[in-house]
Structure 1
Amino acid sequence: MKAIVQERFGPPDILRLTDTERPEVGPDQVLVRVRAAALNPYDWHMMRGDPYAARLLGGMGLTRPLSRVAGIDAAGRVEAVGADVRGIEPGDEVLGFCRGSFAEYARTTADLLVPKPARLTFEQAAAVPMAAVTALRGITTAGRVRAGQRVLINGAAGGVGTFAVQIAAALGAEVTGVCGARNADLVRSLGAAHVVDHATEDFTDGRVRHDVILDNVGNRPLRRLRRVLTPSGTLVANGGGSPGHVLGAIASMPRVLAVNAFVRQRLRPIHPAVPAGPTLDDLRAVAALIDAGTVTPVVDRTYPLADTAEGLRHVESGHARGKAVITVP
């Protein structure tokens, strides 16, 4: 099968399209014929082995990638199932988490897949798993957003942000989206009542306070973010860090938790929604929102499999509008 492989950590130039063996399916596994796969910040972190501290935590590899084929989000058709798998059959159209999704075929388990909503293309469906589940956890699990609350989303035009705006608005919150001027109309169309241009306005100036802040960017000091929270408000910290950093976003986590112990405000770090915790329940919840027409993925650009490196450069630049997706013919 065709796949994008990497033998070492490094920039997008290390990726190459080549032929490799198709994964074998174990008794509890599912083989998916990938039709599209999302490009996430998570993917370029894994590609670069960045931040360096994450290599010590496992799941990435210390001196070289644990997996030659990257990618984690996928949408496609089930090709084969193991003997112990129930509820999924060959031919089913699915979306979910499939490690090694930058390839024609990827292997996963049934508890990481849900049926693809009929209203979505494969490209739209591939944009869902990591970004939408992260947004759901940020808004509902960590943020506990309720109707009537003021919710601010920093990075509202990004992959997680575009889902978070829609989910918070659907819950009845008054949403403020922080983004660039070129994305203001998009963010309003997703349900934001207010839009702040990060280039010309400082949303941490203290003029407006919010019940919940979801920070997907990490470009403001914690003390400034707390300044625009209500006294009992919640800050959900997701993201931050740049290529080459020793700690990256990991550095902010202990600080957030330490301050949380001494203040009335709730400060909650979250990690990207890699397969962990109640993943299947979260995927089902997101799929239900999509089926209901409440949430629609925003796809910025699509790239053929051979141009995965170019797509990751775009995502790494931090200027993606919604999600970037690769297509697999």
Structure 2
Amino acid sequence: MRAVVQDRFGPPEQVLRVTDIDRPEPGPGEVLVRLRATSVNTPDWIAVAGVPYALRLAARAKGAVRGTDVAGTVAALGEGVTGFGVGDAVFGTKWGSGFATAGTFAEYTTTGADRLVRMPAGLSFTDAAASVMSGLTARAAVVDAAAAGPGTRLLVNGASGGVGTFAVQIAKHRGAHVTAVCGPGNLDLVRGLGADAVVDYTAADFTAGADRYDAILDNVLNHPPRRAFRALAPGGVYLPNSIGNSVGLLAGLATMAGANLRGVLTRTRVASVDGGFTPERLAEVGDLVTSGAVTPVVDRVYPLEETPAAVARMYSHRARGNVVITMGD
């Protein structure tokens, strides 16, 4: 099968190549999926580029196939799998299910049957792929961590990215007041998603303003936590969700650790964003999309053969919404 293989750490277009590898076979409890689409997420470019550099100690590069989001059709079932049939349209993830076999930058992948759900009618493979990690992460931030609803004031820093575009829409669907922070070229995009207020980060600093928020979802980490905390209302929660810059031994990991420490010292609530997969959570995201409450924002769609360019697009930090890779028709 065709797959995108990594040779070493570095710039995506220098270290990724498209080649033929053996098709994986499903083990007990696993499903073989013929992929129709996947998406590129932050963990993918991190693993390709090898940043933060400290992660290289644990991440294998030579021969690795990256990618975690699954959208496709069931090609075969492993022993003991029930509830799915060959040909069923499914979406889900490989995240947390082990990576002994190929990732999702390939024509086929295997994953646990408990990591998949049936695709609802009317959901395209492209939108399904864009909705897994980004949708689950945004849902976890808005619903679980921020408990956003009527009367809640939520600020989304990095509102034009994959997680940010989902978060703005999910929060608005739940009745929250949403302030979206992004670059000047994306102000109309986030307004169109329903943001009540927008902040151009090149012209204004949300940490220096008078507004206060019940929750701040920080997908960028471009402000020291001590400044970001200033924009929280009493009892508000800060949600760091980024490694920040993409260079250095620790990159933004130190900033995330510093936010948690400062939260303890100042008695400010700091919560991690747990976008962990469950079938119920992904089904909820799928329902939001098929109902029209949320529309996945897709920056660009690349064929499998152009995966290095797709990962480079995400690595540039300029993508609006999600970057999707498709296989076949």
Aligned twin of 1:301 = 300
CA contact (8 A) 1:184 1:195 kept: yes
CA contact (8 A) 2:40 2:314 kept: yes
Structure 1 residues without counterparts, runs of 5 or longer: none
Aligned twin of 2:287 = 288
How far off is 1:292 after superposition?
A: 2.5
- SS at 1:118 equivalent: coil
- SS at 1:217 equivalent: coil
- SS at 1:315 equivalent: helix
Aligned twin of 2:323 = 324
Aligned match for 2:151, one of 128, 148, 154: 148
Aligned twin of 1:6 = 6
- Which amino acid in the other structure matches residue 151 of structure 1? L
CA–CA distance in structure 1, aligned partners of residues 315 and 113 of structure 2: 31
Shift of the 73–278 alpha-carbon distance from structure 1 to 2, 3 Å rule, reads: closer
How far off is 1:52 after superposition?
A: 2.1
Aligned twin of 2:115 = 112
- Which amino acid in the other structure matches residue 72 of structure 1? T
Aligned twin of 2:89 = 93
How far off is 1:174 after superposition?
A: 0.4
CA contact (8 A) 1:38 1:73 kept: yes
Which residues of 2 match residues 16-95 of structure 1 at below 5 A? 16-56=17-57, 58=58, 60-61=59-60, 64=61, 68-95=64-91
Structure 2 residues without counterparts, runs of 5 or longer: none
CA–CA distance in structure 1, aligned partners of residues 197 and 5 of structure 2: 43
Normalised TM-score (structure 1): 0.92
How far off is 1:179 after superposition?
A: 1.0
Aligned twin of 1:249 = 252
How far off is 1:102 after superposition?
A: 0.5
CA–CA distance in structure 2, aligned partners of residues 120 and 6 of structure 1: 31
- Which amino acid in the other structure matches residue 304 of structure 2? L
- SS at 1:256 equivalent: helix
CA–CA distance in structure 2, aligned partners of residues 258 and 186 of structure 1: 35
Normalised TM-score (structure 2): 0.92
Which residues of 2 match residues 132-147 of structure 1 at below 5 A? 132-147=135-150
CA–CA distance in structure 2, aligned partners of residues 316 and 298 of structure 1: 18
CA distances 1:176-204 after superposition (whole Å, capped 9, x unpaired): 10112221122112121111111111111
CA distances 1:77-96 after superposition (whole Å, capped 9, x unpaired): 11111121121111111111
Aligned twin of 2:241 = 238
How far off is 1:278 after superposition?
A: 4.9
- Which amino acid in the other structure matches residue 108 of structure 2? Y
CA contact (8 A) 1:300 1:324 kept: yes
CA distances 1:139-182 after superposition (whole Å, capped 9, x unpaired): 12222223211110001110000000011111110001011222
Shift of the 142–53 alpha-carbon distance from structure 1 to 2, 3 Å rule, reads: farther
**Higher mean C-alpha deviation, range 261-270 or range 15-24:** 261-270
- Which amino acid in the other structure matches residue 39 of structure 1? V
Q: How many residues align?
A: 320
CA contact (8 A) 1:153 1:165 kept: yes
CA–CA distance in structure 2, aligned partners of residues 242 and 210 of structure 1: 24
CA distances 1:32-55 after superposition (whole Å, capped 9, x unpaired): 101111011211101122212234
CA contact (8 A) 2:213 2:236 kept: yes
How far off is 1:210 after superposition?
A: 0.7
CA–CA distance in structure 2, aligned partners of residues 239 and 260 of structure 1: 17
CA distances 1:275-321 after superposition (whole Å, capped 9, x unpaired): xx453332122122223321121111011111111111111111100
**Higher mean C-alpha deviation, range 154-163 or range 131-140:** 131-140
- Which amino acid in the other structure matches residue 140 of structure 2? R
CA–CA distance in structure 2, aligned partners of residues 229 and 244 of structure 1: 29
CA contact (8 A) 1:117 1:290 kept: no
CA–CA distance in structure 1, aligned partners of residues 82 and 50 of structure 2: 36
Aligned match for 2:224, one of 221, 226, 235: 221
Task: Work out the percentage of aligned pairs sharing the same amino acid.
Answer: 48
